[in-house]
Chain A
Amino acid sequence: MGLVRKQIPQSPEEPAPPSATPDELIRRLDDPDPERRREAALDLDGMPEAVPELLARLGPEQEPRVRDAVLTTLAAHDTEAVAAGLAVHLASDEAGLRTAVAEALATMPRSTPALIPDLLAAPDHDVRVMTAMVLADLPHPDAQSWLARMIDEDPHANVVTAAIDALLPAATAEHVPVLQAAARRFPDDPFLQFTVRSALPRLAGTA
């Protein structure tokens, strides 16, 4: 358990353990000083009782460094409750928040995959674009399959192009048909046409 581990320094170089109780740390999440909030968020690592409090502050928090600390602590839990609590922010009006959340979800390979089917079906195409960003970095054996499915089935060109961009670094010749099909589905989208046209020669030479 993280709290116990932090109370027993392993070496003289290890930083001093937090002296605050979990309740105190949670109260510090509302401190006017952003640095105090950031430190509190990081010190709440390993304390599952703090997860609801951290999730509740994610939206209102305006300081990027505090928000990043909150996300770091939350992502370390890698539970479905945390993933679901984070995923709602993929629809945020705030670009910094939705991007940071996408990055955090991509570091949660145990819990994020359970959300993917719902995210792929999200009515907001911007959420599906963000889902492609998550899948681009998610270390999961099905990530490529989900991206291929987005390319093959999603009705919105921007989602398809986001999925193509996410898939391309790992794409091989086996993905050529799905890319060609996407190009046929969106003949009037200049970027999608360019992307597929540019990628095909390289993919044709891969195994």
Chain B
Amino acid sequence: MTAETTHPRVLVVDDAATVRLYHTSLLRDAGFEVAEAANGLEAVEAAMSTPFDLFVVDVNMPKMNGYTCVETLRSEAVGTAAPVLMISTEDRPGDADRAYQAGANLYLVKPVGAERLVRVATMLTAAKGPVA
């Protein structure tokens, strides 16, 4: 958790504006501080300048897809150990394995309901302190 706030800081990464709005609204209402990125590249740039307590990452995105994004977040260049929740429409065999190999902590298939998203985000950031 960042020093400036008691609210866990989340970066929502998705190229779909409506998905970003949905996840951002739910997490803000639950007391998280939320920033947004429209693709993996923007997410990596944001992570290099701002510490986040949780990343919520889509898979299919232009410029840099979700798997590459998570690998880069975990790489030496960025080096974040913050939890990563991947949320995708993909539910083929092996998709979750690929997410975990990239460095994700949890892989969920859309749609993810409000209660579940908040519950999972709270669980993943629990070590960082309570959500207001």
Closest chain B residue to A91 by CB distance?
B92
Interface stretch, picked from B46-54, B74-82, B109-117, is B109-117
Residues of A within 8 A of B114 (CB): 190
Q: How far is the CB of A68 from chain B (nearest CB, A)?
A: 10
> B98-118: contact bitstring with A at CB < 8 Å (1 yes, 0 no)?
100000000000111110000
- Tell me the bound Cα distance from A161 to B21 in angstroms: 13
Residues of B within 8 A of A79 (CB): none
- Tell me the bound Cα distance from A126 to B21 in angstroms: 22
Residues of A within 8 A of B21 (CB): 194, 198
Residues of B within 8 A of A194 (CB): 18, 21-22, 25
Residues of B within 8 A of A129 (CB): 60, 89
Q: Is the CB of B90 within 8 A of A165?
A: no
Q: Is the CB of B111 within 8 A of A190?
A: yes
Interface stretch, picked from A31-39, A51-59, A92-100, A142-150, is A92-100
Interchain CB contact (< 8 A) of B65 among A99, A191, A198: A99
**Which of A96, A102, A164 has the most B CB atoms < 10 Å from its CB?**
A96
A120 at the B interface (CB under 8 A): no
Residues of B within 8 A of A158 (CB): 89, 110-111
A182 at the B interface (CB under 8 A): no
Interface residues of A in 164-205 (CB under 8 A from B): 164-165, 168-169, 189-192, 194-195, 198-199
A130 at the B interface (CB under 8 A): yes
Q: Is the CB of A103 within 8 A of B17?
A: no
- Tell me the bound Cα distance from A175 to B25 in angstroms: 24
- Tell me the bound Cα distance from A189 to B113 in angstroms: 8
Q: Is the CB of A126 within 8 A of B111?
A: no
Count contacts on B: residues with CB < 8 A to the other chain. 27
Q: Is the CB of B18 within 8 A of A198?
A: yes
- Tell me the bound Cα distance from A27 to B27 in angstroms: 52
Q: With A95-B59, A165-B16, A198-B18 given, is the CB distance from A189 to B89 under 8 Å?
A: no
Residues of A within 8 A of B120 (CB): none
Q: Is the CB of A168 within 8 A of B111?
A: no
A26 at the B interface (CB under 8 A): no
Q: Is the CB of A133 within 8 A of B60?
A: yes
B6 at the A interface (CB under 8 A): no
> B80-92: contact bitstring with A at CB < 8 Å (1 yes, 0 no)?
0000000001111
A83 at the B interface (CB under 8 A): no
Interchain CB contact (< 8 A) of A95 among B22, B67, B110: B67
B61 at the A interface (CB under 8 A): yes
A-contacting residues of B (Cβ < 8 Å)? 16-19, 21-22, 25, 59-62, 65-68, 89-92, 94-95, 98, 110-114
Ranked 9 nearest A-B pairs via Cβ = A95-B65, A158-B89, A165-B16, A191-B111, A195-B18, A190-B113, A165-B18, A96-B65, A194-B22
CB<8 Å pairs between A and B, sample of 22: A93-B92, A95-B60, A95-B65, A95-B66, A96-B65, A99-B65, A125-B89, A126-B89, A126-B90, A130-B60, A157-B111, A158-B110, A162-B89, A164-B18, A165-B16, A165-B17, A189-B111, A191-B112, A192-B111, A194-B22, A194-B25, A198-B21
